[in-house]
Amino acid sequence: MAKIISFDIWDTIIKRKCHPEEIKLATARYIVLKYEKKLKDKYNNIYEILKKRDEIEAEECKRNKDDGHDDECRILDVFKILQKEIFKEEMADISEELLKEEIEQEKRVIFINPEIVPIFEKYKDLKMYCISDFYMGAESLKELLDYLQIPVKIEKIYSSADYLLNKRSGNLYKKAEEELGIKPEEHIHVGDNQYSDIEMANSLGIETIKTTKTEFDFVPEKGRKFNFDLSCVKKEEKTKYDKLFNSGVDLAPLLYFYGYSIVEYAIKNGIGKVYYATREGETFIKIHELIKENNPFGVKLPDSDIIEVSRMATFSASLKEFSIVELLRLWSQYRVQSMKALFKTLAIDIEPYKQYLGKYDLVPEENIIDPWFDLRVQNLCADKEFTDKIQVELDRKRSELLEYFENKKGITNNEEPMFMVDIGWRGTIQDNLAHIFTNKKIGGYYLTLYDYYNLQPKNTYKLSYIDDKNIRNNEVACMITLLEWIYNPGTGSVIEYKQGEAIRKAKSKETDIVKEYIKPLQDGMFEAAKIINEYMKYHPYEAFETKGYVYDLIRKTKTNPSKELVEAYYSMVFNDTFGTAEYVEKDDKLSTMQKLNIFKCRDLLRKELWKEAFIIHNDIEYMNALTGAKSLARKVLGKE
């Protein structure tokens, strides 16, 4: 008659939401996140650390077997050897730190096996023990069982790590029975492993109960595929909102993985706070907040905040003076500009200065090509009365910006570094801030970056998530306005600062269309981002591994966009006053007669950056066949 019942732990009492090796991978990621700069170059990725750890475990198991034990190892011994292998220089022992982190990751992924609960109930009158083949000792295993608050009392845990004996040999069963003073026929064992828990126990005369083993697909190498399912949050497409929401779900990985890469970079580089620049930053920061609320990294995360900025609001404040040299930072990008557009870009009322413009025959509305070469502009910049007067306004704008940053954000022109995030595309706002906060090192992180128009300030550095040249130039460049539009929060653009406050301006048509088209897209993105974030909690990846997935998504979006996404794209209207003094609005659809005019469609298509969207928007799919036939003919004739 049975006196005791023992339980295997893993896949018997406790189940995981991931493959066991992914727990080790999370520990490897912890090492990279915290100690990246101290690692040997070879071990600057989580897979090499995992591989080395598994090698050390195998060597330790062999060494212990050669010493007369079973082929088992202790996790602290493995960690001590691991750190000697992977770090450049000898450092203080971190084995206990790594064990603590691994236990915490186990807690994130474990749950009580529902299958074990009725077994607990059936044998509640027997004393219960655990017998486990595992590299953690009884103390660590007890911490995990206590964390789950299993509904039974476990008298003692027999772990192979404590005895260097295991169930595979039968020796751990014998050791437990010897200590407990029982015979095999008085012992019931429950477990999932067919050999160790069932066949070996049976061979010793122990009665057994088998539980179901969970199998996971896992390939421990870079580029492993993602296996999250976003379709579970998609809506039945009954309304326009539903369709836009679902398009947002499809785009969610682009938003989420960009945010994930930002947070990872900040962790690795000890950045305490990430500042997200308006407007798009108001959308990006929500991913940061999601990650912080439901942390997939397992380490302390940086804080986040919004800085209300724009090219317009920061440019005039960044100018040392009204001069050709200073204004070239603007004119290098806008080589054709009127005085009216210039003053709007500076957020300075042109009226008090019209007399000076008239003095040099400068008509406010006249578009001037290469203004820095224009003698009239040169004379204006040399007019001391004019420059002294406008300098007062530039100084005031700088003072008002500094007041906003100090009072609202606690940012002053000291040596404390600053790290900001924006969508891109050249980091002009960051440059402006660097010209204002000259004592700071200002870092910037962008979705992608293109060649800079201006010499970069020495106190800046810039990084981008999408760094593949082909994707950047062939796909992103075509959809660049879409990528700004879908992250638009509809809160308007900052035009200046007054009394320590950021003053915004938004066209009502812009805010209305954001509510109608962009808000549903963003709702879908955020809902799907929760699914991805939950997945990332259990499946550790480094940020660079997400890029292949995102690049495929960008290609697919560019070549085969949904009708709803195209509709949102062509609804676009937003403030682009900087440099042009205009609002951006997409064109109306082609008329029926225009659609039937092949040559008209061809000419218009040639001017379009995103040709696939133009074809879908105007219902001229026949152009796909024509352009495809033309491309085939060119190949046959050897012209491509």
Residues in the chain where the model's pLDDT stays below 70: 573-588, 595, 623-640
User: Where among 420, 450, 468 does a domain terminate?
Assistant: 468
Distance between CA atoms of residues 184 and 203, nearest Å: 10
32 and 161 share a domain? yes
Per-residue DSSP letter, 226? P
206 and 316 share a domain? no
The pLDDT of residue 626 is 58
User: Where among 468, 501, 522 does a domain terminate?
Assistant: 468
The pLDDT of residue 573 is 62
In a domain, 619, yes or no: yes
User: Where among 419, 437, 468 does a domain terminate?
Assistant: 468
In a domain, 549, yes or no: no
Distance between CA atoms of residues 619 and 121, nearest Å: 66
Q: Residue 194 is part of a domain; what is its CATH number? A: 3.40.50.1000
Residue range 564-603, pLDDT digits in tens: 998 888 887 655 544 444 545 555 677 777 767 777 777 7
In a domain, 353, yes or no: yes
6 exposure class (CB count in 10 Å sphere: 0-12, 13-18, 19+): buried
User: Scanning the structure block, which residue is given the tokens 């990084």?
Assistant: 463
Query: What pairs with residue 306 in β-bridges?
Result: 276
3-state secondary structure of 473: helix
48 and 196 share a domain? yes
Distance between CA atoms of residues 281 and 494, nearest Å: 13
The pLDDT of residue 584 is 52
Domain span at residue 441 reads 311-468
197 and 322 share a domain? no
Query: How is residue 261 written in tokens?
Result: 């890469």
Residue range 254-264, pLDDT digits in tens: 999 999 999 99
- Total domains present in the chain: 3
The pLDDT of residue 28 is 97
DSSP H or E stretch at residue 551: helix 547-559
3-state secondary structure of 604: helix
Per-residue DSSP letter, 125? T
55 and 180 share a domain? yes
The pLDDT of residue 637 is 45
Predicted TM-score (pTM) above 0.85: yes
The pLDDT of residue 585 is 57
322 and 443 share a domain? yes
In a domain, 395, yes or no: yes
Q: Which amino acid is at 102?
A: E
Distance between CA atoms of residues 248 and 237, nearest Å: 13
In a domain, 520, yes or no: no
464 and 332 share a domain? yes
Q: Which amino acid is at 232?
A: C
170 and 318 share a domain? no
In a domain, 289, yes or no: no
| φ/ψ bin of 393: left (φ > 0), alpha (ψ from -120 to 50), beta (otherwise) | alpha
Query: How is residue 202 written in tokens?
Result: 């049976």
59 and 191 share a domain? yes
DSSP 370-413: SGGG-HHHHHHHH-HHHHHHHHHHHHHHHHHHHHHHHHHH---S
Alpha helix locations (H) across 36-159?
Answer: 46-66, 75-86, 95-109, 117-122, 138-148
| Beta strand ranges found along 77-236 (DSSP E) | 110-112, 127-132, 154-159, 187-191, 207-210
* Residues in Cβ contact with 427 at an 8 Å cutoff, skipping those fewer than 6 apart: 444, 446, 449, 452, 460, 462
User: Scanning the structure block, which residue is given the tokens 């027999």?
Assistant: 158
463 and 331 share a domain? yes
In a domain, 503, yes or no: no
184 and 332 share a domain? no
In a domain, 130, yes or no: yes
